[in-house]
Amino acid sequence: MCRHRRIALERRSTPGFRNVTELSPNLLWLWFAQCWQVPITALFAYDAHGYHPGGVHQAAEIYRGRIRKVAAVRHQEEGTARRQDGAASRRDGTRLLERKTTLAAIAAEAGVSLPTVSKVVNGRPDVAPATRARVEQLLDQHQYARNGLRRQRRSGLIDVVFAGLDSPWALEILRGIEEWGAQHEKAVAVSSVRHGSARPTSWTSALASHHTDGVILVTTKTTEPQLGQLRSAGIPLVVIDPANTPPPDIPSVGATNWAGGLAATEHLLNLGHRRVAAITGPADVLCSLARLDGYRSALERAGVAFDQALVRYGDFLHEGGFARAVELLELPDPPTAIFAGSDEQAFGVYEAARQRGLRIHEDLSVVGFDDLPVARWASPPLTTVRQPLAEMGSAAAEMLGELIEGQPLRSTRVELSTELIVRESTAQKEGSK
């Protein structure tokens, strides 16, 4: 109540004074009595000579002192705030000038315009791959920082890019990623790219242009311009089963493909088979070559000569397995056992054998690779090399999560163990011990 009345008195348009501090002592004690709602005598001092208005003089001086003190503090605070704002503005201006100067220097060194460099920094797609690679290299050399804004702007979304989604293998990988996403409240966006059907950087441009927290690439071939575009956009990246050798700074997750190929071939050799064929994947994919190397190592250990005529390169799919198996089974001296580089190719071998009147395991032993859920339900159940696909997906997602949070990785390369699962598609070769 007192505060409201004081403000009203201070704003009153009364001739002779502008605020309460200008009231004469004789009027001021009346104002104090009204404002504080106390008897007038309470404002008077009492001594041996009786009451006198000393109390109001003392109160007035205290009030005037407080007004002066508050005004001084307020003036000091406003001055400090102005100085701080000025310093912050100067720092921001300096940083902006430095960034512009750096981009201008990069543009001059690369022989391109400043807007072109800005497009590369912002992940725009309309830049030639060679130009983008040159600018990316210079950005790295100048240590141009581009990640801060993205770290502050989390979307809760990660992207998973497959080389193809027409396989149960991809679904098993995705299952592991989805489980991690559910535990960490991350949404998962899935897409597929077909190599050769689009411009080299088109899919990376799409990723760089929307707000993704990170990307997992699955058996996808990557080029330096593509990787550079993701780096320039500040997008964390992990690769599962990379099709080609990734740079050392790109984390990757895979399985022990060489050991799996070795175990599959040794199993067939131990059953007495000597004409053992191999249908691996594409000749330019790392896991295909690793499984084939394991196959060759097993032959060498057993003292069996390697025969190039018994090797075929497929596509990891049913159709490729079927076509390559038909070729092998039409040889003058056909194999008695086939190691297929994927379960899907093994099922293609099943069909090729059926069409020729051959029985799986009696006439032809078959080993696959992957251990897809359907492998145990095939007829006969498929002997295969299990690679932990769901665990590979969750391991890659875990690594990506650490990168998103800015945590250092314990290792940039993770390999999970494979395991031979023996079922009914393999048998002892007739006439062997």
Percent of the chain with pLDDT over 90: 46
Residue 198 φ/ψ region, left for φ over 0, alpha for ψ in the -120 to 50 degree band, beta for the rest: beta
What are the Cα distances from residue 336, in Å, to 130, 217, 324, 327, 365?
50, 37, 15, 14, 7
Please tell me the predicted confidence (pLDDT) of residue 413: 92
pLDDT in tens, 193-228: 765 444 444 677 777 666 788 999 997 777 777 787
Residue whose C-alpha is closest to residue 289's, from 261, 320, 264, 269: 261
pLDDT reading at 390 higher than 60: yes
pLDDT reading at 296 higher than 70: yes
Please tell me the predicted confidence (pLDDT) of residue 129: 63
pLDDT in tens, 71-92: 554 555 555 555 555 555 545 5
Residue whose C-alpha is closest to residue 419's, from 368, 381, 373, 378: 368
In this structure, what token pair is assigned to residue 423? Answer: 């079922």
pLDDT reading at 16 higher than 60: no
Under a CB-based contact definition with an 8 Å cutoff, are residues 121 and 149 in contact?
Answer: no
Question: Domains of the chain, with CATH numbers?
Answer: 1-110 (no CATH), 148-250 (3.40.50.2300), 257-388+413-421 (3.40.50.2300)
d(CA 90, CA 87): 5
